C-alpha cells in the first residue's frame, strides 16, 4: 500500500513569541558535514535533512551539583534553584489571550525531574499532526554532540495530543555550567506515520543466519550494488548517492547513457 502524504503533515504553534520558528533540517548539517560526506554519502545527507530543527526559546545555562539543578540566563545575575520555572513574562502574556477558565495554566518552561540531573525543556511550541502521523523528537542528526548533556528521544502522537513540544535532557557533568544557545538547534523533529512503529510492522522481521543461507537473488543483488562495479573496475565514487538521487527524480538509476 502506497503511503499518501497529507497536504499538511504538521503545524507548529508558537506560544512563546520570542522562540525561533522551526526550520527544515539542513542536509549539510549546517555546514558541519565533511565535504566528501555532503557530496557522496546520500545516506548521511538524507538523515541530516529529515525533519525540522527546533531551537530553545532563549539562551540559558544549567548547573547540576550532583543533587540540585540551577539555571540562569542573560540579565539574571544569580543562579536560580530549579523545580518548575515559567518562561520570563509568559504567564502574563498567556493570561491576556487565553479563555478565562484557562488563565493560570501556561506550561512550565523548565522542570527538574525526579531523576538526578534530568531536566525537561519546553521549546515554546505546540504541535499538531495530520491523522495517523506522529513526531519523533530527538537530538539533531549528524551534528556534533552538545557538550554536557544528552537528549532523550520520544515519539509524540500529536494528532491525538495537543500540548507543549518538549524534550528531556540528562546533564552529564557536575559543577560546570551547561549552555544552551538560542541559535543552535536543540532538537530534530521528524514525521512518522504511526504504521511505521506499529507492533505489526516491528514484528514483520526476518533474519538470514549466515552466508550458506544466501539465495541466488541475494548474491545477484550484492553483485549489482557492490561487487560487480569493483570487479569491473568502474565503481565511481558516490555511485549510491547518484543512483538514489535519480530514483527520487523518477529516473532509472542504472540506465545507460
User: In tens digits, what is the pLDDT along the chain, a chain of 257 residues?
Assistant: 567 788 999 999 999 999 999 999 999 998 888 888 778 888 899 999 999 999 999 999 999 999 999 999 999 999 999 999 999 999 999 999 999 999 999 999 999 999 999 999 999 999 999 999 999 999 999 999 889 999 999 999 999 999 999 999 999 999 999 999 999 999 999 999 999 999 999 999 999 999 999 999 999 999 988 888 878 776 555 555 555 555 656 543 333 32
- The answer to whether residue 154 sits within a structural domain is yes
229, containing H or E segment: helix 228-232
Domain total in the chain: 2
Range of the domain at 229: 206-248
- The answer to whether residue 125 sits within a structural domain is yes
Short-list 106, 98, 161, CA closest to 128: 161
Alpha-carbon span 236 to 39, nearest angstrom: 13
Co-location of 17 and 126 in the same domain: yes
Co-location of 35 and 132 in the same domain: yes
What cell does 166 get? 518538549
Q: What is the pLDDT of residue 249?
A: 62
Alpha-carbon span 105 to 101, nearest angstrom: 9
Q: What is the pLDDT of residue 237?
A: 55
Q: What is the pLDDT of residue 158?
A: 98
Q: What is the pLDDT of residue 227?
A: 87
| Residue reference for cell 495537543 | 162
Q: What is the pLDDT of residue 228?
A: 85
- The answer to whether residue 41 sits within a structural domain is yes
Q: What is the pLDDT of residue 247?
A: 61
Co-location of 58 and 133 in the same domain: yes
Q: What is the pLDDT of residue 251?
A: 45
Co-location of 186 and 137 in the same domain: yes
Co-location of 224 and 150 in the same domain: no
Q: What is the domain-level CATH number for residue 43?
A: 2.70.40.10
Alpha-carbon span 188 to 52, nearest angstrom: 6
Co-location of 26 and 122 in the same domain: yes
- The answer to whether residue 230 sits within a structural domain is yes
Co-location of 66 and 122 in the same domain: yes
- The answer to whether residue 201 sits within a structural domain is no
Q: What is the pLDDT of residue 112?
A: 98
Co-location of 229 and 155 in the same domain: no
Give the up-direction half-sphere exposure of residue 14: CA atoms within 13 A in the CB hemisphere. 12
Q: What is the pLDDT of residue 36?
A: 83
- The answer to whether residue 99 sits within a structural domain is yes
Do the beta carbons of residue 200 and residue 206 sit within 8 Å? Answer: no
Q: What is the pLDDT of residue 252?
A: 36
Alpha-carbon span 191 to 141, nearest angstrom: 14
Rounded to two decimals, the pTM is: 0.86
Task: Please report, for residues 13, 44, 140, the alpha-carbon distance to residue 197 in angstroms, rounded to integers and kept in the order given.
Answer: 25, 22, 20
Q: What is the pLDDT of residue 235?
A: 58
- The answer to whether residue 15 sits within a structural domain is yes
Amino acid at each position: 500500500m502506497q503511503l499518501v502524504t497529507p497536504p499538511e503533515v504538521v503545524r507548529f504553534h508558537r506560544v512563546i513569541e520570542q522562540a525561533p520558528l522551526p526550520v527544515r533540517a539542513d542536509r549539510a548539517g549546517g555546514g558541519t558535514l565533511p565535504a566528501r560526506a555532503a557530496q557522496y554519502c546520500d545516506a548521511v545527507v538524507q538523515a541530516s535533512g529529515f525533519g525540522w530543527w527546533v531551537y530553545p526559546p532563549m539562551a540559558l545555562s544549567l548547573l547540576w551539583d550532583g543533587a540540585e539543578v540551577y539555571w540562569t540566563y542573560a540579565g539574571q545575575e544569580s543562579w536560580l534553584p530549579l523545580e518548575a520555572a515559567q518562561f520570563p513574562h509568559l504567564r502574563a502574556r498567556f493570561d491576556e489571550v487565553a479563555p478565562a477558565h484557562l488563565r493560570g495554566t501556561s506550561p512550565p518552561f523548565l522542570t527538574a525531574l525526579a531523576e538526578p540531573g534530568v531536566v525537561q525543556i519546553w521549546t515554546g511550541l505546540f504541535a499538531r499532526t495530520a491523522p495517523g502521523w506522529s513526531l519523533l523528537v530527538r537530538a539533531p542528526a549528524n551534528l556534533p554532540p552538545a557538550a554536557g548533556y544528552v537528549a532523550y528521544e520520544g515519539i509524540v502522537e500529536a494528532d491525538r495530543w495537543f500540548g507543549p513540544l518538549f524534550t528531556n535532557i540528562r546533564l552529564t557533568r557536575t559543577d560546570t555550567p551547561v549552555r544552551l544557545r538560542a541559535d543552535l538547534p536543540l532538537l530534530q523533529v521528524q514525521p512518522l506515520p504511526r504504521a511505521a512503529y506499529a507492533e505489526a510492522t516491528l514484528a514483520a522481521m526476518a533474519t538470514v543466519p549466515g552466508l550458506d543461507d544466501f539465495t541466488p537473488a541475494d548474491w545477484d543483488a550484492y553483485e549489482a550494488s557492490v561487487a560487480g562495479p569493483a570487479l569491473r573496475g568502474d565503481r565511481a565514487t558516490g555511485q549510491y548517492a547518484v543512483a538514489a538521487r535519480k530514483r527520487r527524480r523518477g529516473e532509472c538509476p542504472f540506465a545507460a547513457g
